[in-house]
Amino acid sequence: MVTKSDIIKSFKELGIESTDILLVHSSLKSFGKVDGGAETVIEALKEVVSDGTLVMPALRQRNWENAYKDWDINNTPSDVGLITETFRKSAGVLRSNQQTHSVCAFGKHAKYLTEAHSTGKPRYGSFGPYAFGYNSPWERMYELGAKVVFIGVNMTYNTFKHYVEQKVANDILDKLSEEVRVKALGELDLFFSGGSVYFGHSGFKVQQFLEEKGYIHYGKCGEATLTMYKIKEYVPIMEKELFEKPTFWLNETGGEWVERYKKLL
């Protein structure tokens, strides 16, 4: 039986500090039996970052085709696990206003992280212009140096990989001449309309790469493996990798697109 004190102890041993911004991807069943279920996990994590901020994804994955038609910030559920949905409905938790890649947050930076998701400068991408825009929680978590922990799941479920993909693509677009940029955008439109929702690099492949480099930290709680990385380390190294070796990391169409247009910068 996993208890609240077990979770607190495991996260502290992993290197999580009270002032951290902590983004958690999770599988409740991976723990085995938890005394008190999802609520216990949430209360334990709040206590671990008592002077910081607890963040969880509240992504839309089911009924994807209607994501921009029936979005309701207060009632659209999180589709990425019971812990995230329980957290979404908890007192004092704030949610960002974006149809596909919202987050929920509690604590010191919750308002700042969630308040402006669908505003400001957009980033072009298959999830819409603001999913990973310049005012998105994803950008702001990177800016503030958050830590990311996976409970019982590997980095296949790492949402920050999409942030890096779109960051690389948009950094290229921003540096192209207007004429070339129109052509490049047209190719991306065809790519996305063909059914590919992102360039598509493997989160698990990234995990293996970063583990070899010493950027991944592991822990254990109950039956669950805890996997942690620091965003300030993760984003720059993977941005560099995707830009310099796009055909190694990205799927064929995305890799060729980056390779073709980076030569024109």
- pLDDT one-digit tens code per residue, 122-149: 999 888 899 999 999 999 999 999 999 9
pLDDT of the residue at 173: 95
- Is 111 part of any domain? yes
DSSP conformation class of 136? S
- Is 255 part of any domain? no
> Is pLDDT at 197 greater than 80 in this prediction?
no
- Is 257 part of any domain? no
**Number of structural domains found in the chain:** 1
- pLDDT one-digit tens code per residue, 71-122: 999 999 999 999 999 999 999 999 999 999 999 999 999 999 999 999 999 9
- Is 167 part of any domain? no
Give the range of the structural domain holding residue 97, as residue numbers without chain letter.
Answer: 4-159+201-236
- pLDDT one-digit tens code per residue, 161-180: 999 999 999 999 999 999 99
Distance CA 72, CA 181 (A): 34
Tell me if residue 59 falls in helix, strand or coil: coil
Q: At what angle do helices 160-175 and 252-262 cross, to 10 degrees?
A: 30
- Is 194 part of any domain? no
- Is 246 part of any domain? no
Beta bridge partner(s), residue 149: 24, 228
Tell me if residue 106 falls in helix, strand or coil: strand
Handedness of CA 170, 172, 178, 180 (dihedral sign): negative
Distance CA 253, CA 257 (A): 6
- Is 176 part of any domain? no
Distances (CA, A) of 172 to 54, 123, 167, 258, 260: 33, 11, 9, 8, 11
Six-digit token string for 153: 């799941």
- pLDDT one-digit tens code per residue, 210-252: 999 999 999 999 999 999 999 999 999 999 999 999 999 998 8
- Is 165 part of any domain? no
- pLDDT one-digit tens code per residue, 39-83: 999 999 999 999 999 999 999 988 877 888 999 999 999 999 999
